[in-house]
Structure 1
Amino acid sequence: MATEDDDKPRRKISHDIGQDLSLLSVEELTERVALLKTEIVRLEEAATKKRASRDAADSFFKK
């Protein structure tokens, strides 16, 4: 059985660094932690790829 909430579009979770957290529920805080953890993984992967690319270029031009 569908509820009225199922018809509403789900709001996009976003977080601004340094924003006031006092009005957020535990569920909202947990969602934001998950969002930020996912973003950290994405940033680390991008840094790893860029580092590998830079290292390959350094290796090529040092020969």
Structure 2
Amino acid sequence: MASEDDDKPRKKITHEIGQDLSLLSVEDLTERIALMNSEIERLQQAAAKKRASKDAANSFFKS
């Protein structure tokens, strides 16, 4: 029976800010921390790109 469970696709990890964490296992919490850390990194990279574009435009129009 365990092999049948292994064949099923695993549910995608999602996290809702402020949700109840009491029902999550340590493994679930660790996975969510990794998910959130990767999302923070993605947001920081997007912000850096936008900041660089804005700075380049500001520098071009100030000349």
Q: TM (normalized to structure 1)?
A: 0.93
Structure (1 or 2) with the greater helix fraction: 2
The match for 1:7 is 7
Which consecutive segments of 4 or more residues in structure 1 shift more than 2 A?
Answer: none
1:39 Cα deviation after fit: 0.2
> Is 1:31 matched up with 2:31?
yes
- CA displacement 1:4-63 (0-9 Å, x = unmatched): 222111100000000000010000000000000000000000000000000000000101
Q: Percent identity?
A: 74
Unaligned runs of 5+ in 1: none
- Give the 3-state SS of the residue equivalent to 1:3 in structure 2: helix
Supply the distance in 2 between the matched residues of 1:6 and 1:22 (Cα, whole angstroms): 26
- Give the 3-state SS of the residue equivalent to 1:38 in structure 2: helix
Taking only aligned residues, the RMSD between alpha carbons, in angstroms, comes to: 1.2
Q: TM (normalized to structure 2)?
A: 0.93
